[in-house]
Homo-oligomer: A and B are copies of this chain.
């Protein structure tokens, strides 16, 4: 009797994490001699701890295929980091207990570096307890900050969304600058790594120290914010082009590490209001240079925008899901399928095997050589790296003018164990 598999989505979801789920489930179904049912954790790893498992075998092949074009996390995700093995061994033992009760022999964990750490720890404990479990991580993060893999599924689609949005808003502002708005600021995700802000830079058609077309200025979390240099550059830009467009990371901070978002805005009770680095820098321009501004906060729109996903991102997300199952079937354990780039142009890539322990808890920031010396834009090296990742359109089906996304039935597996306090 083949062992069942457990699959869970972890952390912030993306436009293509369900494509990875699709890759896992479709590939497992092709190997029904070796893998029984695929159980998904409802709301991520919490579903395993609470023994709240979803029986994906009850979903039709058509609906599973529709996952490939549906954003969000089809089984639910969570922000829940398991503590260290020493600190909270009971949680890990509970996982093993649930896996044992449901005859689970494969653990597929789809997430970022925290999740790769969890998957690695689970594999260690299973070995210690002599429980036969194959653990394979599946990379996912819009932040693009995982080690080993050349890029992370989920990032390319955000990159395509923010670059497209920046270009489009740039055409808008350019039209209006003479009598109205001269400044447009787009705030994008990225607390520690500036990859998404860098991707905005792809919209700028010109080369050189800073863009001649939007976005003119990029503000990275890797570069401490220097208000004077920023204002000088903004003024120069307005003088030259009549307007200035800026992309800013939510995690922008000053030389002391203080978040820019914390600096400006207070709520009605005088509490500092988190969020809004974009508004703070826009208001700074208004206060110091007097220009009228608009700002946009893409927030969840950027990471759920499946309608403008990159084809290559969808393909890679699917491929790492499929490869996870294939690695497990090939006897790998404590590994993660990683993307290896073999050529920039034409872009070529392959899936390789990475060890979880080398991916776990490592954060890959932007290399300094990807940012121009003045700190305000991306270099040609960065453009060479980023450009292939937004290639191709993967337009979802539309019904009555709106994208047609699937909602699965998500039927629960009958519980066999006593309740467990998560």
**Which positions in A face B, CB cutoff 8 Å?**
9, 12-13, 15, 43-44, 46, 70-74, 76-80, 160, 163-165, 167-176, 178-180, 184, 186, 202-203, 263-268, 270, 273, 275-276, 279, 283, 294-301, 303-308, 310, 387, 390-393, 395, 398, 400-403, 405
CB-defined contacts of A80 to chain B, threshold 8 Å? 179
Q: How far is the CA of A102 from the CA of B388 in the complex (A)?
A: 49
Q: Which of the listed residues A72, A172, A273 has the most CB atoms from chain B within 10 Å of its own CB? A: A172
Q: Is the CB of A78 within 8 A of B169?
A: no
A-B contact pairs, 25 of them (CB 8 A): A9-B175, A70-B171, A71-B172, A72-B172, A73-B176, A76-B174, A79-B180, A163-B401, A164-B403, A165-B305, A167-B403, A167-B405, A171-B405, A172-B300, A184-B300, A265-B268, A265-B273, A273-B279, A275-B279, A275-B295, A295-B297, A296-B301, A297-B297, A301-B301, A310-B401
B301 and A168 contacting across the interface, CB-CB below 8 Å: yes
Closest CB in chain B relative to A349 CB, distance in Å: 15
Please, how many angstroms separate the alpha-carbon atoms of A336 and B168 in the complex? 28
Are B171 and A303 in contact (CB-based, < 8 A)?
no
Report whether B296 and A299 are in contact in the complex, using a CB–CB cutoff of 8 Å.
Answer: yes
Interface centre among A176, A300, A305, A393 (most CB of B within 10 A): A300
Beyond A78-B178, A266-B266, A275-B295, 5 additional pairs, beta carbon < 8 A: A76-B175, A265-B273, A296-B300, A387-B401, A391-B400
B294 touches A299 (CB 8 A): yes
Q: How far is the CB of A170 from chain B (nearest CB, A)?
A: 8
User: Do A387 and B400 touch across chains, with their CB atoms under 8 A apart?
Assistant: yes
Structural contact, B401 and A179, CB atoms closer than 8 A: no
The CA-CA distance from A362 to B13 in the complex, in Å, is 45
Query: Does the CB pair B295–A168 fall under 8 Å?
Result: no
The reply to whether A71 and B168 form a contact with Cβ atoms under 8 Å apart is yes
Q: Contacts A78-B176, A78-B179 given: A304-B402 contact, CB under 8 Å?
A: no
B264 near A264 (CB under 8 angstroms)? no
- A401 CB contact (under 8 Å) in B15, B263, B298, B392: B392
Give the distance in Å from the alpha carbon of A297 to the alpha carbon of B390 in the complex.
24
Nearest CB in chain B to that of A293: its residue: B275
- The residue of chain B having its C-beta at the shortest distance from the C-beta of A74 within the complex is B175
Please tell me which one of the listed residues B264, B273, B298 contacts residue A301 in the complex, with CB atoms under 8 A apart: B298
Q: Given the complex, which residues of B lie within 8 Å of A163, measured CB to CB?
A: 401-402
Q: Which residue of B lies closest to A14 (CB)?
A: B172
Determine the distance from Cα of A405 to Cα of B398 in the docked complex, in whole angstroms. Answer: 23
B-side contacts of A267, CB under 8 Å: 264-266, 283
- From B76, B400, B403, A178 is in contact (CB under 8 Å) with B76
Chain B residues whose C-beta falls within 8 Å of the C-beta of A78 in the assembled complex:
176, 178-180
A300–B294 CB distance below 8 A: yes
A175–B270 Cα distance when bound, in Å, is 32
Task: Say whether, besides A167-B405, A268-B263, A295-B297, A172 and B303 are in contact (CB < 8 Å).
Answer: yes
Which residue on chain B has the smallest CB distance to residue A276? B279
Question: A305 CA to B403 CA in the complex, in Å?
Answer: 15
Which residue of chain B is the closest to A70 with respect to CB atoms? B171
Task: For A44, list chain B residues within 8 Å (CB).
Answer: 179
Interface pair A390/B401, CB less than 8 Å apart: yes
**A421, chain B: closest CB distance, angstroms:** 15
Q: How far apart are the CA atoms of A171 and B74 in the complex, in Å?
A: 8
